[in-house]
């Protein structure tokens, strides 16, 4: 698979076109290659995929469809789960860095697409910390969550019983001394506005 990707020039094309869509495609290919390493040969991998697919097709009961928000356009479901709504992840930091306000608006439209796929209920979640590229990083909820109208939101938290734990939580942007003035990520700026 790696040879095909390299010799066809497909990997190089994705690497050379520096945009979010191609970066996502490259990440998907890396995940595929990683999954394939668990098998001795291509035949066993395809057998596994075929078996998993046939199990999905034969199942007549209720089921869960997992897809990207891009591929969900035009579809509707009773309940939609939207995980990962964290600053830097959604909206994605790279999209904002590369396209500025236009990139942020594209991400906001995508958030709208995700939410409006739900006929009855959309469940939005985020992590307070996440294991990313070998390290635990602390996170903040996406700015898009703050933009939702309160009349239609029911908030709950893992920390509901211990309100002090939220207040004491330290974000990775909590730098000491003069370093605070040098750090200007969107999440840090929003955090500073909240504590003032």
What are the angstrom distances between the C-alpha of 127 and each of 53, 141, 147? 30, 8, 18
10-residue mean pLDDT profile of the chain (196 residues): values are 85 82 84 87 81 56 80 90 93 91 94 95 91 83 92 74 45 47 58 68
Are 46 and 121 found together in one domain? no
Nearest to 180 by CA among 168, 169, 189: 189
Are 53 and 76 found together in one domain? no
Are 145 and 176 found together in one domain? yes
Are 141 and 55 found together in one domain? no
pLDDT number for residue 97: 92
Are 42 and 139 found together in one domain? no
Query: CB neighbours of 132 closer than 8 A, spacing ≥ 6?
Result: none
pLDDT number for residue 112: 95
Owning domain of residue 39:
1-62
Q: Which of 18, 35, 62 is the last residue of a domain?
A: 62
Are 192 and 134 found together in one domain? yes
Are 35 and 104 found together in one domain? no
Cα end-to-end span (Å), the chain: 53
pLDDT number for residue 147: 92
In total, how many domains does the chain have? 2
pLDDT number for residue 172: 46
Q: Which of 28, 44, 62 is the last residue of a domain?
A: 62
Q: Which of 62, 80, 97 is the last residue of a domain?
A: 62
CATH of residue 114's domain is 3.30.160.800
Are 94 and 57 found together in one domain? no
Q: What is the pLDDT of residues 57-85, one digit of tens each?
A: 555 667 788 888 888 888 999 999 999 99
Are 38 and 94 found together in one domain? no
Are 102 and 152 found together in one domain? yes
Q: What does pTM read for this prediction?
A: 0.53
pLDDT number for residue 185: 58
Are 42 and 95 found together in one domain? no
Are 34 and 9 found together in one domain? yes
pLDDT number for residue 108: 95
């Amino acid at each position: 698979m790696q040879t095909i990707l390299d010799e066809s020039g497909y990997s190089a094309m994705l690497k050379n076109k520096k945009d979010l869509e191609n970066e996502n495609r490259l990440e998907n290919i890396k995940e595929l290659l990683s999954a394939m390493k668990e098998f001795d040969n291509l035949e066993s991998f395809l057998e596994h995929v075929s078996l998993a697919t046939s199990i999905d097709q034969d199942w007549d009961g209720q089921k869960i469809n997992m897809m990207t928000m891009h591929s969900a356009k035009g579809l509707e479901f009773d309940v939609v789960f939207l995980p990962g709504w964290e600053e830097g992840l959604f909206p994605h930091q790279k999209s904002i860095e590369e396209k500025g306000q236009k990139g942020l608006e594209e991400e906001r439209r995508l958030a709208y697409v995700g939410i409006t796929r739900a006929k009855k209920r959309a469940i939005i979640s985020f992590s307070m910390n996440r294991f990313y590229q070998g390290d635990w990083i602390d996170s903040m909820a996406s700015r898009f969550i703050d933009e939702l109208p309160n009349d239609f939101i029911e908030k709950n938290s893992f920390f509901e019983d211990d309100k002090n734990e939220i207040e004491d939580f330290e974000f990775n942007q909590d730098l000491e001394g003069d370093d605070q003035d040098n750090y200007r990520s969107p999440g840090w700026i929003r955090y500073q506005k909240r504590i003032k």
